[in-house]
Amino acid sequence: MECNWIDRFAEVWKQFKERVFNSEVKILDREEVSVWEDLFIGKILPHLEREGCLVIAIAGGTNTGKSTITNVLMKKEITATDYKAAATKRPVLIASERKARECLNNSMFLEFEAVRMENKEEAIAPSLPNNILLVKEEESLPDTYLYLDTPDIDSIAKEHWKIAEKIVSAGDIIVAVISDSKYKDDAVVKFFRRALEEGKIVIPIMNKVERDNPKYHQIAEEQIKDFLKEIGIQENYPCFYFPRWPYGENILEKPIKSFTDTVPDLREYIHSFPVQETKAQIMKKTIQRFEEELGRWYQNIFIESLNHLIFKVRYFEDYLENRIVKEKFVPFQGLRLLEDINYELRRQIGYFKYLIFFPTHIFLGHRSSFAKVIKDKEKTEIEIKQKHRWMIEECFNAFLDCLLKSELIAEMGPLGEKINERLHKLHTRREVLLQKIITEMEPLLSMKLEWMQKEIENIVSDILSSLNLYSLYGKRVLSLLLLGTGLISIVYGMPYMGPWVEILAGGGILSSAVFIDRIGHKEFQASINLLYEKWVLSKQAELTQILKAEVLEDVFQDIYKYIDFAEQFEEEVQKIFNDKFSLLGKGIKNLPTEDRVNPREDRVVEKH
């Protein structure tokens, strides 16, 4: 059985769990991972690569007599019994010296702190912590069998049945101890049904059956058949019973008999299972069940939760970029920058060349808008700076108010409460933060006219090196050829054609030349506009990034961290399991815009 994935997955899950579950804000619920994690940490990780041994767990509901059955199986009073409900508070492991030592070294039951059991009362003592595993050495046991006495699976104390679930997940054979009052209990039935689904061997035993009365014996047999049907086991399955004995009678040597004579005593029946074959069969089913539960959690909880958070975060990111910054922030507003780009283009190309390539547009961009303001440069720069500060302030306030009034955050529960707490702290230092954002933006958008002139020169340089200019050259050459052809046809005539036909043909050719020239210039002007818009967008993106870092990433820091950790975890899981869950995981890779961002503005509710 290949198991090289075990340690890799254990390390990846450990890192992810430490980062996510130990954080102040709970994004994922621990309870949601309990089934597959119990299987992995309780069974697969410690047992798959080990020398085979069968773990026999004695489990059942409250007051069914699990500790009594454990002592009878051992033929020795090892664990304490008590008539009170939920008496056993912590699991007891009974094993050979070697296996007990392995357990005490914390190598077999990883979710518990294993300690040596000094006396039987420790199993029910209220003073000891419940997360310990009491380990008792028993010389009569071979290394191939370990026995576990567990707390109630339906205890009034929730921590008891959680312990029972974890310890039974580590089991191979589960002895289901039931009684006439518990055999149809919902919690009991669900527990043992799940044990079967996980590939465990479930052996039912009806405890406290009235002795020396065939009627009660028959009733107990019918009840255990009903129990088998409830948990999903077919009839003709080996079932056992143990009588109710008088108080004070020595029961430790009593047999735990089968309802049929064809099956031996329970002790012999358990030890009749071939260890290696049984272990391999159970581990195969356990791994299959683990993958099913991991896949179910991965798809229905992990990916769904992750996408849900990504949708919310990207909604605010897109709202900031498209509905606030792009609408409210236009760099160097008031200056006719497109005119200046055309002017700079004419200057760099040269007047003669410009005349050849743009004969009908020689007067466009004939002067720089900077030339108009250069006489009062200082005043202009102050006005531009004030406009930029005002626009940045408007974007900042609009975005912060949007977050403060958004109902999307309220939908996040406790996480939303933490986000709102940060938002209100941010609101109290609004002026300080605004000044910080303006200071960060100033180096990226200098208010000096010389800086803007250099930016225009860079845009024009991009234009002159672009393929669009060569396309314009081609159209202009064709236009000139048609222009010459048209003039020749009108001036010198066309053979075999009348004068009117010559004039019409020449006029058509000239019109074509002008049309091609106009189309070429229109396309080229569109490319100029596009480069200018690209420049504007780059400055808007810089402001968006600063606002995102200072506002969004601050108040949503838990979500951003979680998304980062979760995407790393998702990537590692796909590698470990050879893309076994790739159809589930691709949900966080290609999120369509129309799905992740609700275009309706009413999702950010502004209360007036």
pLDDT in tens, 252-264: 989 999 988 888 8
What is the model's pLDDT at position 460? 74
pLDDT at residue number 296: 87
CB 368 within 8 A of CB 380: no
The reported pLDDT for the residue numbered 602 is 38
Who wins on pLDDT, 346 or 242? 242
| pLDDT bucket at 341, cuts 50 / 70 / 90 | confident
Mean pLDDT, rounded, for 95-108: 86
Q: Edge-to-edge, what's the strand order for the sheet holding 92-95? A: 113-116, 132-137, 92-95, 145-149, 54-60, 173-178, 201-209, 240-243, 257-258
51-55, 112-116, 175-179: least confident range? 51-55
Show the CA angle centred on residue 373, arms to residues 371 and 378, nearest 5°: 130
362 or 270: whose pLDDT is higher? 270
- Which pLDDT score, from 0 to 100, does residue 588 have? 46
pLDDT of 81 over the 80 cut:
no
Burial 333-363 (b: 16+ CB within 10 A, else e): eebebbebbbbbbbeebeeeebeebbeebee
Q: What is the pLDDT of residue 495?
A: 55
Between residues 467 and 323, the one the model is more confident about: 323
Kindly report each contact of residues 577-586 with a partner whose C-beta sits within 8 Å and lies 24 or more positions away, as own/partner. Answer: 577/5, 577/291, 580/291, 580/295, 581/294, 581/295, 581/298, 581/299, 584/295, 584/298, 584/299, 584/303, 585/298, 585/303
On the question of pLDDT at 211 being above 90, the answer is: no
How far apart are the C-alpha atoms of 404 and 424, rounded to whole Å? 8
Supply the DSSP symbol for 60. E
**Percent of the chain having pLDDT more than 70?**
73
Mean pLDDT of 417-440: 91
Note the pLDDT tens digit of each residue in 281-311: 888 888 888 888 888 888 888 888 888 888 8
- Looking at residues 100-121, what average pLDDT do you find? 84
Can you give the pLDDT at residue 164? 76
What local confidence, expressed as pLDDT, does residue 589 receive?
A: 46
pLDDT of residue 321: 93
154-163, 271-280, 488-497, 584-593: which has the minimum mean pLDDT? 584-593
- Measure Cα distances from 280 to 42, 312, 394, 565 in Å: 16, 46, 67, 35
* Position 596 pLDDT exceeds 90: no
pLDDT at 594 over 80: no
Bridge partners of 58?
149, 175
Q: What is the pLDDT of residues 520-533, one digit of tens each?
A: 566 666 666 777 78
Q: Is the pLDDT of residue 586 over 50?
A: no
pLDDT band at 434 (very low <50, low <70, confident <90, very high): very high
Q: How far apart are CA 215 and CA 46, in angstroms?
A: 46
Of 18-27, 38-47, 139-148, the poorest mean pLDDT is in: 18-27
How high is the pLDDT of residue 312?
87
> 601: pLDDT confidence band, cut at 50, 70 and 90?
very low
Give the torsion sign (CA, 282, 287, 292, 297): positive
The contacts of residue 500 (CB under 8 Å, 6+ apart) are none
Alpha carbons 146 and 54: distance in angstroms, whole number:
6
Strands 132-137 and 113-116 come out as parallel
Q: Is the pLDDT of residue 87 over 90?
A: no
Closest CA to 539 of 317, 313, 319, 333: 333
Residue 432 or 160, more confident = 432
CATH 3.30.420.40 fits 51-273, yes or no: no
Q: How far apart, in whole angstroms, are the C-alpha atoms of residue 16 and residue 566? A: 7
pLDDT computed for residue 471 by the predictor: 61
Q: ∠ CA 7-13-19 to the nearest 5 degrees?
A: 140
| Contact residues for 475 (Cβ-Cβ < 8 A; gap 6+) | 516, 517, 519, 520
What's residue 360's pLDDT? 54
Provide the pLDDT confidence category of residue 371 given band limits of 50, 70 and 90.
low
What confidence tier does 246 reach under pLDDT thresholds 50, 70, 90?
confident
pLDDT digits (tens, 9 = 90+) for 139-175: 889 999 999 988 888 766 667 667 777 877 888 999 9
Q: Are 562 and 27 in contact (CB under 8 A)?
A: yes
Q: Distance between alpha carbon 87 and the CA centroid of its chain, in Å? A: 41
Do 176 and 204 contact (CB within 8 A), yes or no? yes
Both structure tokens of 121: 């009362």
Q: Does residue 332 have a pLDDT over 80?
A: no
Q: What is the distance between the alpha carbons of residues 448 and 456, in angstroms, rounded to a whole number? A: 13
Give every CB contact of residue 191 below 8 A, 6+ residues apart in sequence. 59, 153, 154, 161, 164, 165, 168
Neighbours of 247 (CB within 10 A): 5
Residue 583: what pLDDT? 46
Which tops the pLDDT comparison, 437 or 86? 437
Q: Which residue has the higher pLDDT, 457 or 501?
A: 457
In this prediction, residue 1 carries a pLDDT of 40
Which pairing describes strands 113-116 and 257-258: parallel, antiparallel, or unpaired? unpaired
Count of alpha carbons within 13 angstroms of residue 42, beta-carbon side: 25
Domain ranges of the chain: 51-273, 299-603
Residue 174: both structure tokens together: 């589960």
Higher-confidence residue: 427 or 485? Answer: 427
Q: What is the 3-state secondary structure (H, E, C) of 68-104?
A: HHHHHHHCCCCCCCCCCCCCCCCCEEEECHHHHHHHH
More confident: 399 or 581:
399
Contact present, 502 and 490 (Cβ < 8 Å): yes
Collapsed DSSP state (helix, strand, coil) of residue 471: helix
Q: Where are the alpha helices (DSSP H) in 198-274?
A: 214-231, 266-271
pLDDT for 529 equals 72
173-178/132-137 β-pairing? unpaired
173 close to 120: Cβ distance less than 8 angstroms: no
Burial 506-520, CB ≥16 within 10 A → b, else e: beebbebbeebbeeb
pLDDT of residue 508: 56
| pLDDT of residue 503 exceeding 60 | no
In this structure, of 34-38, 166-170, 450-454, the range with the lowest mean pLDDT score is 450-454
Q: What is the 3-state secondary structure (H, E, C) of 383-396?
A: HHHHHHHHHHHHHH
pLDDT digits (tens, 9 = 90+) for 506-520: 555 556 656 656 665
Average pLDDT of the chain is 79
